[in-house]
Amino acid sequence: MTGLAVDDAAWTSAWRHRSPGDKLLLCGGLVVCALLLPAWPGSVLVGLVAVGLALGPARVPARTFGRAVRLPLAFVTVGALTAVVAVDGDGIGWAPDAAARAGSLAGHALAGSAAVLLLATTTPMSDLLPALRRMRVPEAVVEVASVVYRLLFVLLDSLRTIREAQTARMGYSSLRRSYRSSGVLAAAVLTRSWDRARRMQAGLAGRGLETGLRVLPEALPSSRAFLVTTGAGLAGIVAASLAIA
């Protein structure tokens, strides 16, 4: 276990050994459907399919998927509320079509988030980054994603170490001490992470790194049956949405 629940789920998923290109096609298609189809019923169908595939064939733990969707849900809720508020000469009020606008925004965003989480909980970054390079995604984008992924674990390791030390010293024994310890924890994690990132950059530069950190990717062949099923499923979502809307 790495300490990052989404990453742990990706490594233990039943789709771990499927081709990342196949999964990118499926999840990318679902995201496009979530963006272009009407919120009802298109986004609802996309969301149900993404969640059903994650909890069913991919065997992602429901608890992990539910916890992962909480943060996007918070952003979507805040965005929906700000999008339906109207400010005019009479003050602040609700827009005339507030309910429809909020429902459409939340539907598109949640369906797209579920599709992205399906990819994140079934595909480790070590598989995804080589696949992005093969798809000719700009090297700078892939390299930044790779460095951010590595620094996440530096951040988590620092957080865990400092919090354990604070707990051993009764740092969370009362509400007042908890507030103080949380502030010290945030400051210490940020400064330590910044220092380790700086040392990492110096070390890579000292080795003459100019083309990124290349690793030997695991060969994961594409599945024709998976691709055919993906195409049929996406076409079914589009047809059902246009027929019902």
Q: Which residue has the tokens 């499923």?
A: 233
Question: Mean pLDDT, the chain, as a whole number?
Answer: 85
Q: Kindly report, residue by residue over 132-141, the tens digit of the pLDDT.
A: 888 888 877 8
Instruction: Find out whether 196 and 190 touch, Cβ atoms under 8 Å.
Output: no
The alpha carbon torsion through 143, 145, 148, 152 (nearest 10 deg) reads -130
Structure tokens at 218: 């695991």
> Which residues, in sequence order, are CB contacts of 73 under 8 Å at separation 6+?
110, 113
Query: Tokens 């679902």 belong to which residue?
Result: 30
pLDDT surpasses 80 at 240: yes
- The 10 Å Cβ neighbour count of residue 165 is 13
- Mean pLDDT to the nearest integer, 15-32: 92
pLDDT of 215 higher than 80: no
Cβ atoms 48, 107 nearer than 8 A: no
Beta bridge partners of 93: 86
Contacts (Cβ under 8 Å, ≥6 apart) of 54 = 60, 65, 114, 117, 118, 121, 122
Q: What is the pLDDT of residue 239?
A: 93
From first CA to last CA, the distance across the chain in angstroms is 45
* pLDDT higher than threshold 80 for residue 46: yes
Q: Would you state the pLDDT for residue 147?
A: 79
Q: What's the residue count for the chain?
A: 245
Q: Where are the domains of the chain?
A: 4-123+220-244, 137-206
- Residue that wins the pLDDT comparison between 10 and 192: 10
Determine how many CB atoms are found less than 10 A away from the CB of residue 132.
Answer: 19
Tokens of 95: 């827009």
> How far is residue 28's CA from residue 219's CA, in Å, rounded to a whole number?
21
